[in-house]
Chains A and B, each alone.
Chain A
Amino acid sequence: MTNSLTVPTTQADTVRALRRTRNVQVRRLAVVLATCCVLLAGLLATSLFLGGGRVVAADILPAAFGLRTGLADYVVFQNRLPRALAALLSGALFGLSGALYQKLIRNPLATPDIVGISAGGSAGATTVLILAPTLPFGVPLAAILGAFALVAAIHALSWRQGVDTYRLVLVGIGLSAVCSAYTNYLFTVADQHSIAAAMRWLIGSVNDATWEGVLTLGLALAVCAVGVAVLGRGLSGLALGDELATGLGLPVSFTRVCALLLGAAAAALATSVVGPIGFVALISGPISARLVGGEHALGLSAFVGAVIVLGADLLAQHAPLISPVPTGVLTALLGAPYFFWLVLRRGAGATS
């Protein structure tokens, strides 16, 4: 981290330059974080107030503080608030998992949504939902199991004297197709389920989010945040390359496996509540890296993901002409052009 603008002459100069760079970075991070928080608050308020129906806008604010009963109270606390919070929390989880994977695998395309880990989680969740709906905690656990199985399968299948990241992406795309086919098949078997439910598990939607789901997401986010904080040093070490990190005494394989499973669990738990909302994991990491860069990008990607899903859900609910649609449709329409750009970008294919 040297400042290229000034040529340090003495040690004091160097220290001063480094400190100045660091201050600039911290200030930038603070500004970006504050902007994200303001955006999130604004989007949250908007999604509470918008929505038409038979609730007057003037009733919303009092209802949010528990001063109204009946319909307004119900709409705010049983419909809009859980939905908005589910969007926020699932977005944060998707963003975090995507950035984690991009950092670990060092390929911007190797995110849980592209390589099918979300689809695996969705397949697991759907299996329990349709075959054993009464199992306690069955859906989140099955989602995690499905995602872990996918991680293991992708690794085993793309291993050939080392893992080539593009082979990994290709294998993941293939396995993703199988998981979608399987989920599709389950809904063919269980015809009593509505098309809306099928859409949720194939495309992803925060529609019909419940407080139970919000609780799952909140716990998952807390665990993942702690996990990322604990793994943080090891992750920065991995960025130096495996040999150097081993030389520094870091447990390379252990850190990598933990981080892979943590990312998969984050994506799976988010998927178990809102379905495989696509392209959020893909775009959050690079956006936050562009905003702040360096080691803070990983944490920031959670905020970016939250903004993306909450914003996309607002559009999915209220945009003229197209609404209402599942949230995943909007994120795909926003994210796929970016995916195109990633594929097209010359010379930067292999590293994020």
Chain B
Amino acid sequence: MSDPPVPVTPIPRTGLTRGTAVAVAAILALVVVTVASIGLGARDISPLEIIRILVNPGGDSYNTHVLWTERIPRTLLGLAVGAALGGSGMVMQALTMNPLADPGVLGVEQGAAMFVVLGILFLDIRGVTGYFWLALAGAGLTAALVYATGTRAAAASTTIGMVLAGVAVAAVMASVITLLVVRDEAVYSHLRFWSVGQLTGRAKVLGEALPFMAAGLLLALPLGRTLNVLSMGDEAAAGLGVRVNRARLLGAGAAVLLCAAATAAVGPVAFVGLVAAHCARMLVGADHRWSLPLSMLCGAILLVGADTAGRLILEHGEIQVAIMTAIIGTPFFVWLARRRNLVRV
């Protein structure tokens, strides 16, 4: 039941050189993935053609149309959602000190999705703005529930207890969603997207979703230093003059906001936050001033990369991005679960 005593040693700082080098590499990777996502698909467009269309937006060729109405909005939405999930995952891991924390694994996204479905069915809410407020309520409630259950769990540690609580919550939420929408096959196929997150056909929500995600990202970005202090343990943080409860609440608020915005835009996509946060920490160390922004970058790369791959694997149609991230993320999850310090015998 008892967790190991949290080390009071401060997190080692990440050097400016290392941080900058990794950041530059990540941005380059992001550019490559973005170009690939814009260029590749059922109809391939070469990078030169993309540049030509970008500098000359007024053209009326078919490629121009595809690019401006489909590929670019979809890619931007993917970048924003990935960044939101990456940031949310990192903040959740830092606040709960749980290396398995992820908005999808802990069931927070399913909670948000259930509230959105309830709103669509009973309050007749349409449009991403409405979805967002519902998703925010659902994500907040679920996060509180999972945190309360997980930290009181009798399982081997709170790390595992929280994951188990998340699995139970996600199962209940997914069942309720099915229960609500299953009777009408037309409604179900329309709402199916709320149980499997995807970017297909979501390009038009970009304008509505972007402000929420931008707000969440701006709220989360300055938290790096606070998270560093909090991860030294509550007492040490209080000793350093941080108002612990306020700081925790702020962090949790940012994480829930990001998760809700991402879910409202594309539906639940698990494992992105988990993988992004660990990649970021492997690259620049635990210093959150560097690893938090980097986690957002990694999330964006991962989501857009997974979406592009999902478009290319099948000859006809595409694989939803949530399925791709589950297949990429699970080996990661299993690898983390195997680590010795996570589960004590």
Contacts and interface: CB of A to CB of B under 8 A. Distances in A.
Query: At the interface, is chain B mostly helix, strand, loop or mixed?
Result: helix
A346 interface: yes
A109 to B, nearest CB: 7
B168 A343 contact: yes
Nearest to A316: B179
A15 interface: no
Interface residues of A, number: 52
B156 A166 contact: yes
Contacts of A346: 1, 154
B7 to A, nearest CB: 23
Interface string B146-166: 000100111110001101110
B1 to A, nearest CB: 8
Nearest to B344: A164
A343 B179 contact: no
A177 B323 CA distance: 9
Query: At the interface, is chain A mostly helix, strand, loop or mixed?
Result: helix
A160 B338 contact: yes
A325 B179 contact: yes
Interface string B310-345: 000010011110110011011001100110101111
Contacts of A347: 1, 154
Contact of B160 (A158, A166, A178, A336): A166
A164 B343 contact: yes
Interface in A290-342: 322, 324-326, 328-329, 332-333, 336-337, 339-340
B175 A349 contact: no
Contacts of B189: 195
Given A171-B337, A177-B330, A325 B343 contact: no
A160 to B, nearest CB: 6
B172 interface: yes
B164 to A, nearest CB: 5
Nearest to B324: A181
B182 interface: yes
Interface string B81-106: 00000000000000000001000000
A278 B338 CA distance: 25
A157 B337 CA distance: 9
Contact of B323 (A184, A195, A199): A184
Given A178-B327, A343-B161, A325 B183 contact: yes
B63 interface: no
A136 B225 CA distance: 63
Nearest to A338: B168
A35 interface: no
Contacts of A185: 319, 323, 327
Contacts of B153: 343-344, 349
B237 interface: no
Interface in A177-226: 177-178, 180-182, 184-185, 188-189, 191, 194-196, 199, 203
A332 B172 contact: yes
* Most chain B Cβ neighbours within 10 Å, of A157, A170, A340: A170
B175 A333 contact: yes
A157 B342 CA distance: 15
A269 interface: no
B3 interface: no
A178 B26 CA distance: 27
B171 A332 contact: yes
A162 B189 CA distance: 45
Contact of A340 (B165, B176, B271, B345): B165
B274 to A, nearest CB: 10
Given A170-B163, A188-B317, A333 B323 contact: no
Given A158-B338, A336-B172, A324 B183 contact: yes
A16 interface: no
B111 to A, nearest CB: 13
A180 to B, nearest CB: 7
A166 B154 contact: no
B171 A336 contact: yes
B270 interface: yes
B188 interface: yes
A244 B188 CA distance: 55
A300 to B, nearest CB: 25
A346 to B, nearest CB: 5
Contacts of B344: 164
A167 interface: yes
Interface of A: 109, 114, 157-158, 160, 162, 164, 166-167, 169-171, 173-175, 177-178, 180-182, 184-185, 188-189, 191, 194-196, 199, 203, 278-279, 322, 324-326, 328-329, 332-333, 336-337, 339-340, 343-350
Closest 4 CB pairs of A and B: A181-B326, A170-B337, A332-B175, A349-B154
Given A166-B160, A188-B314, A336-B175, 10 more contacts: A157-B338, A160-B340, A167-B342, A169-B164, A174-B334, A184-B196, A196-B185, A328-B175, A333-B176, A349-B153
19 contacts: A157-B334, A164-B344, A164-B345, A170-B337, A170-B343, A171-B338, A173-B167, A174-B330, A174-B333, A177-B326, A178-B327, A185-B323, A188-B314, A188-B319, A195-B185, A195-B189, A329-B179, A343-B153, A349-B156
